[in-house]
């Protein structure tokens, strides 16, 4: 159990680092307050493949490092974490519900696209509010307009769709590596049954040896 926890933390740390690299170094500005970045890919991968706790950890650590690297530690640093946390929560909770019903979210393409699109919309709306609050607190023009907000929403949805189709083959490839993906309910029960059978066979073998 301890080995499994350490292993999962190592994966979370790797994905948080990937998020930071994408967010900090691969960010394309297409307008005021409108940026395109593949950083959400790291959140999507963790949220779909692992638990909501893993997704939250990656979101918090990754975005915290990004904010500190860009702006230092400010009174509103925690606020800038909220949009990323919401994206991680939405995707990971839906993925968890699918696993509880013996399905994987990414295998249902329409549901996967809708989930990522909703997460993108919520993230964009939350991010817009944070921009406004930050601007009010530090007394600078937020530059937000209706057209700009609509453009942010559209770019967020398009980016989420692109990330969805990029993530699907990545998830399949990583799953084949057997590096601890969270299983469906029936797979967990089957795994538990196989362990119990293996233990029983071992006990039977030990009893036979003692009898001889």
- Average pLDDT (189-209) is 68
How many other C-beta atoms lie within 10 A of the C-beta of residue 71? 12
Reported as a single tens digit per residue, the pLDDT across 141-193 is: 767 777 778 888 898 999 999 999 999 999 988 887 766 677 777 776 776 77
Q: What pTM value is reported for the model?
A: 0.85
User: Do 144 and 12 touch, CB atoms closer than 8 A?
Assistant: no
User: Do 17 and 69 touch, CB atoms closer than 8 A?
Assistant: no
Give the side-chain half-sphere CA count within 13 A for 126: 16
Query: What pLDDT sits at residue 3?
Result: 53
Reported as a single tens digit per residue, the pLDDT across 45-59 is: 999 999 999 999 999
Check residue 178 and give left, alpha or beta (phi > 0: left; psi -120 to 50: alpha): left
- Residue 128 above 80 pLDDT? yes
Give the highest mean pLDDT range of 4-13, 82-91, 171-180, 202-211.
82-91
Cα–Cα separations (whole angstroms), residue 128 to 4, 27, 32, 79, 174: 38, 17, 12, 11, 34
- Residue 87 above 90 pLDDT? yes
Query: Residue 18 carries which DSSP code?
Result: H
- Could you tell me what percent of the chain has a pLDDT over 70? 86
- DSSP letters along 151-184, please? HHHHHHHHHHHHHHHHHHHHHHHHHHTTS-PPPP
Token pair for residue 183? Answer: 């299983």
More confident residue, 197 or 182: 182
- Average pLDDT (20-24) is 93
- Average pLDDT (77-82) is 95
Query: What pLDDT sits at residue 43?
Result: 96
> Average per-residue pLDDT in the chain?
86
Query: What pLDDT sits at residue 144?
Result: 72
Token pair for residue 83? Answer: 């949009």
Token pair for residue 77? Answer: 């640093």
Check residue 183 and give left, alpha or beta (phi > 0: left; psi -120 to 50: alpha): beta
Q: Which of 74, 48, 87, 65 is nearest to 13 (CA)?
A: 65
Q: Report the alpha-carbon distance of residue 70 to residue 30 in Å, rounded.
A: 19
Q: Report the alpha-carbon distance of residue 80 to residue 156 in Å, rounded.
A: 17
- Residue 2 above 60 pLDDT? no
Q: Report the alpha-carbon distance of residue 167 to residue 105 in Å, rounded.
A: 12
Phi, psi (rounded to 5 degrees) for 38 = -85, 15
């Amino acid at each position: 159990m301890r080995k499994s926890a350490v292993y999962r933390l190592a994966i979370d740390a790797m994905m948080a680092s990937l998020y930071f690299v994408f967010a900090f170094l691969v960010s394309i500005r297409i307008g005021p307050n409108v940026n395109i970045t593949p950083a959400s890919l790291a959140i999507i991968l963790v949220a779909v493949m692992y638990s909501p706790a893993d997704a939250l950890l990656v979101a918090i650590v990754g975005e915290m490092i990004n904010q500190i690297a860009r702006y230092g530690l400010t009174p509103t640093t925690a606020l800038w974490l909220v949009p990323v946390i919401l994206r991680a929560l939405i995707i990971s909770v839906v993925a968890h519900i699918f696993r509880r019903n013996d399905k994987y979210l990414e295998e249902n393409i329409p549901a996967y696209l809708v989930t990522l699109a909703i997460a993108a919309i919520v993230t964009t709306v939350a991010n817009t509010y944070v921009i406004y609050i930050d601007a009010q607190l530090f007394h600078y023009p937020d530059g937000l307009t209706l057209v700009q907000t609509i453009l942010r929403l559209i770019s967020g949805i398009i980016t989420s769709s692109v990330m969805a189709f990029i993530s699907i083959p990545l998830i399949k490839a990583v799953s084949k590596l057997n590096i601890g993906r969270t299983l469906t309910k029936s797979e967990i029960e089957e795994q538990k049954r196989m362990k119990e059978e293996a233990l029983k066979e071992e006990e039977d073998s030990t009893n036979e040896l003692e009898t001889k």
